[in-house]
């Protein structure tokens, strides 16, 4: 069986230990498998012996980056035979030095999670941008913790997306709860005469309109997407983008229905910039309200170089 290796990256006191502990205490993640936890820096938060016992976790402490090597990981495999590995990495060490190490047979790096203290982010990104780049650039998931009412999530997101467009961003409150983006924090103006959705923001827009189509009823939106012809009606087509639903092998188009008198003129796979008014209809299959766009105008355009959708 493959042994997944998770890297927790971030500066000292950025919340790595807290995240690891809450992850291992999550019954949906940890069902008693043996975890090897390799800790490369020690902060204020500690791993108590009873916590390690309750979560079936063995722990190794590392003080020097040169200790991490193929031979070291092979030794860990022989000694612990873990079902998974978590590495609490030192935020000042180069992540490439770690991911370039040849792992034991069946061990595989699966995810890099970077933790960032939202209250100190502005200071770091202003005065230590190269260090912050090294935290953001390799991450699959970025967790901004300690968010409060004054946290400017659009500022955080904008800086992350400028460095790592594909990263999933999670915002946590001071109590550890997940903070969702509010309307005023969206990267597009939901109250504009025409809500213009940039290429990078389609995923957020799609999730929001699917979750609450009534919020968009009667509004006009404009965005870029690929046409997929519908077999339901010759006056309806689908516009959308490809997204990885669960893994790289599971890529599919996520799209919205468009009512159009010119639907028969559409070519499957064409790229267009669509301007449309949002309506709402009841989907009989799902017994729920879904958005239905009414085409106002469109123009054909060049395909996107990277059409994959990112949902944060």
Q: What is the mean pLDDT of residues 29-44?
A: 91
Question: pTM of this prediction?
Answer: 0.78
DSSP 100-134: TSPPPTTEEEEEEEEEEETTTHHHHHHH-HHHHHH
pLDDT > 90 in the chain, percent: 61
Q: Which residues of 270-294 are buried (b: 16+ CB within 10 A; e: fewer)?
A: bbbebbbbbbeeeeeeeeeebbbbe
Q: What is the mean pLDDT of residues 36-41?
A: 95
Residue 282's pLDDT is 85
Residue 232's pLDDT is 65
Residue 247 has pLDDT above 70, yes or no: no
Residue 91 has pLDDT above 60, yes or no: yes
Residue 253 has pLDDT above 90, yes or no: no
Q: Delineate the domains of the chain, giving CATH numbers in brackets.
A: 3-173 (3.40.50.300), 188-300 (2.40.50.140)
Cα distances (angstroms) measured from residue 153 to each of 48, 146, 297: 34, 12, 33
Q: What is the 3-state secondary structure (H, E, C) of 167-209?
A: CEEEEEECCCCECCCCHHHCCCCCCCCCEECCHHHHHHHHHHH
Q: What is the mean pLDDT of residues 176-189?
A: 86
Cross-strand partners of 244: 251
Residue 189's pLDDT is 93
Cα distances (angstroms) measured from residue 41 to each of 46, 65, 91, 163: 11, 10, 9, 26
Phi-psi region of 87 (alpha: psi -120 to 50; beta: other; left: phi over 0): beta
Residue 63's pLDDT is 92
Asked which of 40-44, 47-51, 136-140 is least confident by mean pLDDT, the reply is 40-44
Residue 287 has pLDDT above 80, yes or no: no
Q: What is the mean pLDDT of residues 247-258?
A: 76
Largest CA distance in the chain: 68
Read off the pLDDT of residues 106-161 as tens digits, 9 standing for 90 and up.
999 999 999 999 999 888 888 888 888 999 999 999 999 999 988 888 889 888 88
Residue 308's pLDDT is 80
What is the average pLDDT value for the chain, to the nearest integer? 90
Read off the pLDDT of residues 9-23 as tens digits, 9 standing for 90 and up.
998 888 899 999 999
């Amino acid at each position: 069986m493959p042994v997944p290796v998770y890297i927790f990256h971030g500066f000292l006191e950025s919340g790595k230990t807290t995240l690891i502990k809450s992850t291992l205490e999550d019954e949906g993640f940890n069902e008693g498998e043996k975890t090897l936890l390799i800790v490369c820096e020690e902060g204020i938060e500690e791993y108590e012996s009873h916590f390690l016992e309750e979560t079936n976790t063995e722990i190794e402490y590392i003080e020097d980056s040169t200790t991490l090597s193929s031979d070291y990981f092979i030794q860990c495999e022989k000694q612990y035979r873990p079902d998974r590995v978590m590495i609490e990495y030192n935020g000042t060490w180069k992540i490439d030095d770690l991911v370039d190490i040849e792992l034991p047979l069946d061990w595989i790096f699966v995810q890099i999670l970077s933790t960032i203290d939202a209250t100190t982010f502005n200071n770091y990104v202003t005065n230590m941008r190269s260090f912050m780049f090294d935290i953001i650039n390799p991450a699959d998931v970025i967790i901004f913790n300690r968010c409060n009412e004054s946290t400017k999530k659009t500022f955080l997101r904008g800086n992350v997306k400028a460095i790592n467009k594909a990263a999933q961003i999670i915002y946590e409150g001071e109590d550890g709860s997940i903070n969702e983006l509010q309307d005023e924090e969206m990267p597009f103006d939901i109250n504009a005469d025409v809500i213009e959705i940039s290429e990078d923001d389609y995923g957020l827009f799609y999730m929001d309109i699917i979750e609450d189509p009534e919020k968009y009823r009667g509004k006009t939106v404009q965005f870029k997407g690929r046409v997929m012809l519908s077999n339901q009606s010759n006056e309806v087509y689908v516009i959308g983008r490809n997204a990885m639903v669960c893994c790289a092998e599971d890529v599919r188009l996520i799209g919205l229905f468009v009512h159009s008198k010119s639907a028969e003129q559409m070519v499957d796979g064409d790229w267009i910039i669509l301007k449309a008014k949002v309506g709402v209809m009841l989907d009989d299959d799902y017994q729920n309200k879904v958005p239905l766009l009414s085409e106002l105008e469109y123009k054909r355009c060049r395909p996107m170089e990277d059409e994959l959708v990112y949902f944060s």
